[in-house]
Structure 1
Amino acid sequence: MTPTPLPTCDPTVVESFSRDGFAVLRNILAKDRRDMLRHAADRLLASAITTGRDRGTDGKDGFRGVVALDSAFLPLVAEPTVLTVVATLLGPNLHLLSSHLIALPSIPPDGPRTIRTPERPGWHRDMYGVSRDLGSASIPRLAIKAAYFLTDPTPTAGVTMFVPGSHLRTDEVQVPAGSINPPDAVVPPIGPYDVVLFENRTWHAGGLNTSGSPRLAVMMQYGYRWLAPVDDPAAELLRRADLTDVERQLLGAADRDPDGSLAKGAGARPLTRWLEHREQVAVVAQEANPTQAQRKAPA
């Protein structure tokens, strides 16, 4: 579970995220790893576990704090490519706010629904308390979610929809009467091994799953360390001997020196150092393999 130093974050991903409020990272999960996560999700959903259980309307099921319920999900905490982009956008003073397994049931197109209807279209921003307390015009970028789809994101699977650019809006998105989606809503084109990143201000909603099978996804949400986690505390995770320092930070390690004394800001050191090392590696790689544009023209 060691994050591997990577080249500098792709600037086109950062540009896309800054413009649209979401971006797609391609081919993050290998097939065997995705299959392992799918089996772990199936085990949890078939269990009688109530810790963190998140059942909702229309047969929706899932779990909060899934990284503490099955170790198969633990490597997602510091997935290197995802973490590089998230830390580039938010900085290193981060921890994991939530790890959320969602099973969205399949309902026939003409089947009864209590949400994603014209009366309850279901469009929202994350961290609803921020909107309520600060108002929609005053919300900063506080958190980023990474959505891993464990079942194929086909056109009928109910993949999460977004309104591009809505993270910069100061008003709510408008859904026309009789409809369930804003006219500018989109479904990002993603493959089975891709990850979708989106921030707390981006208006989004689950699509309609009419595929005949549940849509399984894991949402990993990262935010500043001064934000309270959404999931229940899982102190037992920090007692694991196989965690890296970066993983310990993301799982909530406190600002402490090795002797236990208070050390303000120490909790963000692991990710800060990892980012610095990643940048150093990128510089060395660039110097060893300069692009044609960077090479000096012959005299």
Structure 2
Amino acid sequence: MRTFHEQGFVILRSIVPTDVVRQLRHLIEERYQDPATHTAEPGLDLVRGGVSLMRMFEYHRAFRDLVEFQPVIGLVEEILGTDCHMVAQNALRTPTGKGIVNWHIDDALFFPFLAQVPAIADAVMPLPCFSLNVMVALSDTDDERFGPTQVVSGSHLSGREPQHEPVLPAGTTSISLLARAGDVYLVNSQTWHRGAQNHSQRIRYLLTTTYGRRFISQRFFPFMNYRMPPAVLHGASDRLLRLLGCHEKGPYG
């Protein structure tokens, strides 16, 4: 917890079993190779930019069940609260020469005042985290040439955005999250990050599940008209149902 709040990320080693990693990687490739994925009407929004496969929890129960995977979900709930939910779940399939190379944060800038009064970040630590990404490495990215996720430690406390540039602003330094298949890393949505270009001949596979506090809206396209397939809810535990968005009554309704 302390590392996550101070650095804006934390790495958990050897969390997902090898057989689960192998199954998820196979399912991602299977979905990517399915012609229906690429010919689907725009309203289904199944693939973006050729590398990001959307709403994997709809595709196979193995992805859905990973939403409440222990011990990761326990840490997520400790950070976001026990009424948090999944915001999105996407798979990244990054072939040679590709990568999400622009530095970015994953939501609105929550604390812009920190840019003017940086001492507040030290005085009130930890600042609340409203949303985060749980990234599961499904292939080894233990060398720079494989295009690892890169972050700027502490950038979630800067009160600034990296302006979506492929090169970091002067005075900032990136860290490559070198990982083995089965490692998991949690990244605050406000932490500057990117997926470096894959310079190897090997496809990089990564599963990203985003979680948010209850007031952070779920991002399932087409948003207002989205309807979760009944099969996704079938057999889910009470905890998983809540993580999928089935909340009890609360503020505003």
* TM-score, with length taken from structure 2: 0.80
Map of 1:174-213 to 2, 5 A cutoff? 180-181=167-168, 183-213=172-202
Q: 1:36 aligned to 2:23?
A: yes
Cα distance, 1:172 vs. partner? 3.4
Q: Which has the higher contact order (CA 8 A, sep 6+)?
A: 2
Pair 1:170–1:244, CA change in 2 (3 A) = same
Q: What letter is aligned with 2:65?
A: P
- CA RMSD in angstroms comes to 2.7
Larger Rg: 1
Identity %: 26
Deviation of 1:167 after TM superposition, in Å, equals 0.7
- 2:238 matched residue in structure 1: 245
Kept in 1: contact 2:198–2:204 (CA 8 A): yes
- Return structure 1 stretches of 4+ with deviation > 4 angstroms: 173-176
CA contact (8 A) 1:68 1:237 kept: no
Q: Does 1:264 align with 2:240?
A: no
CA distance in 2, matches of 1:225, 1:169: 25
Distance 1:135 1:20 in 2: 16
Deviations 1:259-288 (A, max 9, x none): xxxx437x9xxxxxxxxxxxxxxxxxxxxx
Alignment of 1:89-100 (within 5 A): 89-100=79-90
Q: Quick check: 1:145 aligned with 2:125?
A: no
| Counterpart mapping for 1:1-299 below 5 A | 14-47=1-34, 48-49=36-37, 50=40, 51-56=44-49, 60-107=50-97, 116=101, 122-127=102-107, 130-131=108-109, 136-137=112-113, 141-155=129-143, 156-173=145-162, 180-181=167-168, 183-232=172-221, 233-237=226-230, 240-255=233-248, 263-264=249-250
Aligned AA for 1:220?
Answer: T
Would you say the 8 A contact 1:144–1:223 is kept in 2?
Answer: yes
Gaps of 5+ in 2: 115-126
CA shift for structure 1 position 100? 0.7
Instruction: Measure the CA separation in 1 of the matches of 2:214 and 2:6.
Output: 25
In 2 relative to 1, CA 114–228 (structure 1 residues): closer, same or farther, beyond 3 Å? closer
Q: Which segment drifts farther, 199-208 or 43-52? A: 43-52
Shift of 1:88: 0.8
Q: 1:239 to 1:217 in 2, by over 3 A?
A: closer
The aligned amino acid for 1:93 is D
Kindly provide the amino acid, as one letter, of the partner of residue 30 in structure 1: P
Residue 253 of structure 1 and its aligned partner are, at CA, apart by 0.6
SS at match of 1:44: helix
Q: 1:46 to 1:80 in 2, by over 3 A?
A: same
CA 1:137 to 1:193, structure 2 compared with 1: closer, same or farther past 3 Å? Answer: same
Q: Secondary structure at the match of 1:197?
A: strand
* 1:175 to 1:61, Cα distance in 2 relative to 1, 3 A: closer
Q: TM-score, normalised by structure 1?
A: 0.69
Pair 1:137–1:123, CA change in 2 (3 A): farther
The aligned length equals 227
In the alignment, the residues of structure 1 paired with residue 190 and residue 141 of structure 2 have an alpha-carbon distance, to the nearest angstrom, of 23
Aligned CA distance change for structure 1 residues 240 and 86 (closer, same or farther; 3 Å): closer
**1:46 CA displacement:** 0.5
Q: In the superposition, relative to structure 1, how do residues 28 and 140 fare at CA in structure 2: closer, same or farther (>3 Å)?
A: same
Gaps of 5+ in 1: 1-13, 108-112, 117-121, 256-262, 268-299
